[in-house]
Structure 1
Amino acid sequence: MIQSQDIFTLTSQKQFDKLALKVFRFQYQNNKVYREFCDFLKTNPQEVKTIQQIPFLPIQFFKSHQVISSSETIQETFTSSGTTGMITSKHLVTDISLYEQSFRNAFSEFFGNIEDYVVLALLPSYLERDGSSLIYMVNDLIERSNNEHSGFCLNNYDELISKLVSLDNSGENVLLIGVTYALLDLIEKQNFQLKNTIIMETGGMKGKRKEIIREELHATLSKGFGVQNIHSEYGMTELLSQAYSFGNGIFECPNWMQILIRDTEDALSYVDSGKTGGINVIDLANINSCSFIATQDLGKKHPNNSFEVLGRFDNSDIRGCNLLVL
């Protein structure tokens, strides 16, 4: 049986590979949808010896199937955002503590103690619907920051502007997490010069604005907030882990998450570092669902395992986190 401590204490590539293969065999045995997909590809689990040989389930399966590797009771159902009438993804979570351990450990690894921050969240389109995994995470971070000033802001921009300026001027460490279009709305109302605030965009225009490339977006946000770098979060409904960027769109994964870049012409082979392809995600925290997901995002990986998100295969279905279409 795979324990949570096996996932969140990984320290080497060798350990990661060994656990990934163990998770693959577990999910092949216990996930009916994933097993049928592997069998369709004529994958013999006994012959899978490297992570590159593991089949990656196309993310679209979360829209049409129950992708689950556990018989336990479902504790949370996370759903993707989408326009009216669009079929959305459903992520059935049987052990919410795995998600909590994943995002808490990752935040601590990348940003330090949550209690050192005032956490402000500008996520109107997420707050206006049920089932957002991002809202679940941010709400937990707000509560654990244990700061009276932390909280969500819906459309009360004037109040947020006043609070942001006051907190920044008083020397507080502030983390403002915002959906892209709302951050742009905010800097159209106020030109900031922030010195103690991290701006983290979670991507997505949600149909409110025209999609723009990351370089242009970050230049606009940097100027508007008066900060040098714009941080980013890369996550999605179907995962239980996130990658983070400290600027320039270069993302890093926590130790239990990795990215592979598949060939756009041959989904079962991979391209070298520096070349563009489809993003495959290994998320070992997602043990009770599927840890091996082929996303619709385009990206490229660097030799140090960091990566960039460059766009999407199909811009007819724009949703989720950090999906900035070229």
Structure 2
Amino acid sequence: MIDSKAIFNIKSDASFEELALTIFRFQFENNIVYRSFCDLLYKHPSEVQSIYDIPFLPIEFFKSKPVLSSQSPVIKTFTSSGTTGSIASKHFITDLNLYENSFLNGFYHFYGSIKDYTFLALLPSYLERDGSSLVYMVDKLLKKSTNPDSGFYLNNLDKLITKLEKLDESSKKVMLIGVSFALLDLVEKHQFKLKNTIVMETGGMKGRRKEIIRDELHTILKNGFGVNTIHSEYGMTELLSQAYSNGNGTFKCPNWMKVLTRDPEDALSIQKNNKTGGINIIDLANINSCSFIATQDLGRVHTDGSFEIIGRFDNSDIRGCNLMAL
């Protein structure tokens, strides 16, 4: 049995690799879908000596198969928000404490105490979309903040404008978290001059507006909110961990998460740093599903382990958090 506490106490690359290999062997033995995938590749644990030898499960399997490494009952199912007619990914959760420990520890690592912030969320409320892992996370952050001014906003932008300007003027630490199209709607309605607010976007347009590159989006939002930087959150239904960017377009992972890139022409070949390729993610919090996922994102990993997202493979579905509002 793997001690989940060990995941969030990782202090070095060596301890990360040791635990990753332990989890790989566990999931090889206990995850039928992942075991079948490894068998098709003729990849046995005896041949896996480092994280670079581990097979990464294509993320599409979450759309068609129950990706589970646990025999415990499923207590929550997170679903992706895709376009009309597309198949949603399903992440079956047998232990919500793992998810909560991951996003709470991750937030603390990058931003400090949750109680120091007032959270304003331009997202559907948890009750409006029960299957959203993002909304579940933000809902918990709102409650943990214990600040009565924290709350969800979606359609009442006038109320949000008044609240945001009042809080910002009071010198309180404020975090505005929103899907990109909603943040654009907000700055088109009102021009801000914020001084004490972190603005964090959580994704692209996904059918609500014309897709634009992140640099262009951030330029519009910086001008609209009157801030020097726009923060970003990188997460997805299939992961229990998130990476964050503090405004330069470069994401950093918590200690229990690692990003690698694969060769676009050879999906089984891991590339050296600073080369563009498909994004592979190791998320050790995914003990009970699969910790080794090949996404449809394209990106580049830097020498220090940080990474940037450049785009997506052309044949991948348009998917993401922004359709939660539909």
Give the structure-2-normalised TM-score.
Answer: 0.97
Of 196-205 and 264-273, more deviation after overlay is shown by 264-273
The AA in structure 1 aligned to 2:54 is: I
Give 3-state SS (helix, strand or coil) of 2:297's partner: strand
Give 3-state SS (helix, strand or coil) of 2:282's partner: strand
Task: Give, in whole Å, the separation in 1 of the partners of 2:230 and 2:81.
Answer: 23
> Any conservation in 2 of the 1:80–1:88 contact (CA below 8 Å)?
yes
The AA in structure 2 aligned to 1:172 is: K
Task: Give, in whole Å, the separation in 2 of the partners of 1:85 and 1:264.
Answer: 27
Task: Give, in whole Å, the separation in 2 of the partners of 1:186 and 1:123.
Answer: 13
Task: Give, in whole Å, the separation in 2 of the partners of 1:117 and 1:164.
Answer: 13
The AA in structure 1 aligned to 2:254 is: P
State the 1:95 CA deviation.
0.3
User: After superposition, where does 1:127-166 map in structure 2 within 5 Å?
Assistant: 128-166=128-166
Task: Give, in whole Å, the separation in 2 of the partners of 1:282 and 1:83.
Answer: 27
Aligned equivalent of 2:7: 7
Show structure 1 runs of 5+ residues with no match: none
> Any conservation in 2 of the 1:235–1:321 contact (CA below 8 Å)?
no
Task: Give, in whole Å, the separation in 2 of the partners of 1:269 and 1:92.
Answer: 29
Aligned equivalent of 1:181: 181
> Any conservation in 1 of the 2:124–2:135 contact (CA below 8 Å)?
no
State the 1:75 CA deviation.
1.2
State the 1:45 CA deviation.
1.1
Aligned equivalent of 1:52: 52
Of 101-110 and 311-320, more deviation after overlay is shown by 311-320
Change beyond 3 A, Cα 1:288–1:115:
same
> Any conservation in 1 of the 2:232–2:247 contact (CA below 8 Å)?
yes
Change beyond 3 A, Cα 1:270–1:207:
same
The AA in structure 2 aligned to 1:22 is: T
Aligned equivalent of 1:199: 199
Aligned equivalent of 1:214: 214
The AA in structure 2 aligned to 1:260 is: L
The AA in structure 1 aligned to 2:6 is: D
User: After superposition, where does 1:1-326 map in structure 2 within 5 Å?
Assistant: 1-124=1-124, 128-314=128-314, 317-320=317-320
| CA displacement, residues 24-81 of structure 1 (integer Å, 9 cap, x when unaligned) | 0000000000000000000011110000100000000000000000010111100000
State the 1:126 CA deviation.
8.0
Identity of matched residues, %: 67
| CA displacement, residues 77-104 of structure 1 (integer Å, 9 cap, x when unaligned) | 0000012221100000000000000000
Give 3-state SS (helix, strand or coil) of 2:10's partner: coil
State the 1:320 CA deviation.
2.0
Give 3-state SS (helix, strand or coil) of 1:267's partner: strand
Give 3-state SS (helix, strand or coil) of 1:281's partner: strand
Give the structure-1-normalised TM-score.
Answer: 0.97
Moved over 6 A (4+): none
Task: Give, in whole Å, the separation in 1 of the partners of 2:271 and 2:127.
Answer: 38
The AA in structure 1 aligned to 2:122 is: L
Show structure 2 runs of 5+ residues with no match: none
> Any conservation in 1 of the 2:126–2:135 contact (CA below 8 Å)?
yes
State the 1:314 CA deviation.
2.4
| CA displacement, residues 205-254 of structure 1 (integer Å, 9 cap, x when unaligned) | 13110110111111111110001010000000000000000012100000
